Chain A
């Protein structure tokens, strides 16, 4: 229990520091919310009244406290371009970004794990060469360029897929999935590149372990050795990298959502920036960052599930 409690405390401290960092950076920005809302022509009196109304004349620590208290109670403030609570806005945009990221991760895993494992078990063979090409190209091709290429091929030339936009989940499950498919493929490619490489390396290093030799000596087939003995032990590095990739997945989502004109969280961050909707920007950056930190925290906990040896301390 102590390990879990200590890690939870560490998580809370990290989240607190991140929120303070984001708040301070956003606060240092030139032009506060009042002057952005009123424009440059507002009189000093109106400006001051507005600042007072928004609570901007309070000291930094107090404003940070208010923001934090709001987050804890689920009140993330009010967007001034959309005129709605930011919490609702984030929840609404998540219905696009979350499935998009999930499909991308599943696609990349479905591709990378078998390919990486086959490359490791047939070292130097055709699968190994294919894996090496896929991982090099996957990592080098930017997701937003891949998006353009997919649109050019499947939308402009072949007319098979929608080139962008999102019909909403009300339009039916498959229509929504169809709109997310090409963006998810573009987002999955760099992940697949990295994961293929990691899977191959992880499986290769477990192949040298004693228990693999034992499994082989027992007369198990090569396939059983690979999937039942080598793979479960290779999962830890794969999971670690999957967690570390979360930050790139978020960055990719911001770009890909913009190319495909998807009303997701990444596009919201970009729109908030162009419209100077500071509170939305601040909340979305915190949300994304907290998400990355929490994903890595869950990965940490998942180690305990995968590797019973690590549980000893609890």
Chain B
């Protein structure tokens, strides 16, 4: 479970950054600007002399909290929609799925651009924009598995006992598809981290001076020749985090479904 180890490490660093970082990530020391790793601080300094390690640590919290917020909201709403569609069927199901197609077709970067114009820059906008995109993904996955669950004998038995559709959905369908929702959540967390990084790279994420991996990369563009570590380290963090969540998702899928 390399995936679980990476995710665990990431979470630990993110939580640690809330109470401790080697230096304040916002503290500028112009005299020590653009110092390579190990010469000043473990991972060097940026163009304002800020400690890169501290910025990356706080960045992990910002990235993780936005990704978790977005997947929690998008996952909850999308799963509810999928389960409801499987229970009600008929025109509601086709309408819900068509709506999902529409939302899914708008690339998340573009919907974030539109939403950002009226929610303003920041954590809430990033979470809402990414969550909007997650809803159709979860709705499709849960609809497929919930529809399967509805054809099982235990659901038939529950219906014969006179249970309402709502009760069956909550007591029988949901617990049986929960493992698939968890796998999907892990995989989507990776995607959410990538999208958040993309948004902050374009300057649409958290407002400065809050450090974020994406914006660190955007700032590093000016110093590619002078300070390559500024362009390498944050990207490595993003890639590692995404890799961790993807591997965790794959691992969980194998764990829940040994047949494959």
Contacts and interface: CB of A to CB of B under 8 A. Distances in A.
Contacts of B235: 141-142, 145, 148-149
Interface in B100-146: 101-102, 104-110, 113-118
A30 B116 CA distance: 11
Interface stretch (B83-91, B154-162, B173-181, B241-249): B241-249
A293 B105 contact: yes
A254 B110 contact: yes
Nearest to A132: B250
B250 to A, nearest CB: 9
A292 B107 contact: yes
A269 B110 contact: yes
Contact of A270 (B113, B232, B238): B113
Nearest to B99: A17
Contacts of B232: 149
Chain A: interface size category: 35 or more
A136 B246 contact: yes
Contact of B198 (A14, A29, A144): A144
Contact of A21 (B102, B107, B115, B246): B102
Interface in A270-313: 270, 273, 276, 281, 285, 288-289, 292-293, 296
A255 B118 contact: no
Interface string A122-139: 000000000000001101
A246 to B, nearest CB: 9
A206 B190 CA distance: 29
Contacts of B104: 247
A145 B114 contact: no
A258 B109 CA distance: 13
A25 B113 CA distance: 11
Interface string A145-156: 100110110001
Nearest to A145: B235
B102 A251 contact: no
B217 interface: yes
A285 B114 contact: yes
A148 B224 contact: yes
Contacts of B240: 140
Interface string A2-17: 0000000010011001
A18 interface: yes
Contacts of B99: 17
Contact of A29 (B98, B105, B117): B117
Given A21-B102, A144-B198, A151-B224, 11 more contacts: A17-B99, A28-B118, A140-B190, A140-B242, A141-B239, A142-B198, A142-B239, A156-B224, A258-B202, A273-B116, A296-B105
20 contacts: A14-B101, A22-B114, A25-B114, A29-B114, A136-B247, A137-B243, A139-B246, A140-B194, A140-B239, A145-B231, A148-B221, A247-B104, A251-B110, A255-B201, A258-B201, A273-B113, A285-B106, A289-B105, A289-B110, A293-B101
Interface of A: 10, 13-14, 17-18, 21-22, 25-26, 28-30, 136-137, 139-142, 144-145, 148-149, 151-152, 156, 247-248, 250-251, 254-255, 258-259, 269-270, 273, 276, 281, 285, 288-289, 292-293, 296
Interface of B: 98-99, 101-102, 104-110, 113-118, 190, 194-195, 197-198, 201-202, 217, 220-221, 224-225, 228, 231-232, 234-235, 238-240, 242-243, 246-247
